[in-house]
């Protein structure tokens, strides 16, 4: 299956598609491009699958499972022209924040999906602390350029976003790309430092050794 995903570099990938509003509508609007959705919650996965089947969409693939695990084990690097992450679980408690989809320890896995130079990561959240943390994580990445946007050109992209806009909640929206059009060969410095652990009692490896 990894080889099948790697046959073309223009996949549109949504990690955590929820009820599938954005994924299904986007696939229906552009039958020439392949769309991949990843979702852990079974009831949302089944709902999106029914919606895609009802529209007879042949350009949609859905995977049920944990996004980081599937990226690490199944999905090839450089497969996606676009990766979408909208309103993921912010894991607000400090002891749970290592589970976040985008933080210094995990962001390189997600960025590796992008095909340069066109690849883009789109992110949105109503959880402002998490949004600022993701903005900082992307801004500190040596291979990434990031910008904030006030709104998407075509309007809300998910059920959550439409609801939160009606309620007047502030939303953090970010667009990231790989600098210079190259692959993210440089690791995020904070995530890299987590990897540089030597034997017990030994010295940490020098960053220049990577």
Q: Which residues are the active-site residues?
A: 89
User: Distance of alpha carbon 155 from its chain centroid, rounded?
Assistant: 19
User: Distance of alpha carbon 134 from its chain centroid, rounded?
Assistant: 11
Q: Which token pair is 173?
A: 């929206």
Q: Is the Cβ–Cβ distance between 46 and 21 less than 8 Å?
A: no
Cα-Cα-Cα-Cα dihedral sign, residues 67, 24, 82, 85: negative
120: β partners: 82, 177
Q: Is the Cβ–Cβ distance between 22 and 84 less than 8 Å?
A: yes
């Amino acid at each position: 299956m990894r080889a099948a995903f790697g046959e073309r570099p223009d996949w549109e990938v949504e990690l955590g598609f929820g009820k599938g509003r954005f994924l299904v509508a986007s696939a229906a609007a552009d039958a020439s491009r392949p769309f991949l959705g990843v979702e852990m919650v079974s009831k949302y996965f089944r709902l999106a699958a029914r919606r895609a089947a009802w529209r007879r969409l042949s350009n949609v693939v859905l995977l049920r499972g944990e996004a980081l695990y599937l990226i690490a084990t199944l999905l090839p690097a450089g497969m996606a022209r676009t990766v979408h992450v909208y309103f993921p679980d912010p894991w607000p408690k400090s002891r749970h924040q290592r589970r976040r989809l985008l933080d210094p320890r995990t962001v390189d896995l997600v960025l590796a999906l992008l095909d340069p130079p066109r690849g883009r990561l789109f992110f949105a959240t109503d959880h402002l602390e998490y949004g600022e943390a993701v903005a900082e994580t992307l801004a500190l990445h040596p291979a990434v350029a990031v910008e904030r946007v006030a709104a998407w050109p075509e309007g809300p992209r998910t059920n959550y976003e439409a609801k939160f806009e009606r309620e007047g909640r502030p939303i953090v929206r970010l667009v990231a790309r790989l600098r210079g059009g190259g692959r993210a060969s440089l690791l995020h410095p904070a995530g890299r430092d987590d990897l540089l652990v030597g034997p017990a009692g030994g010295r940490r490896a020098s960053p220049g050794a990577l």
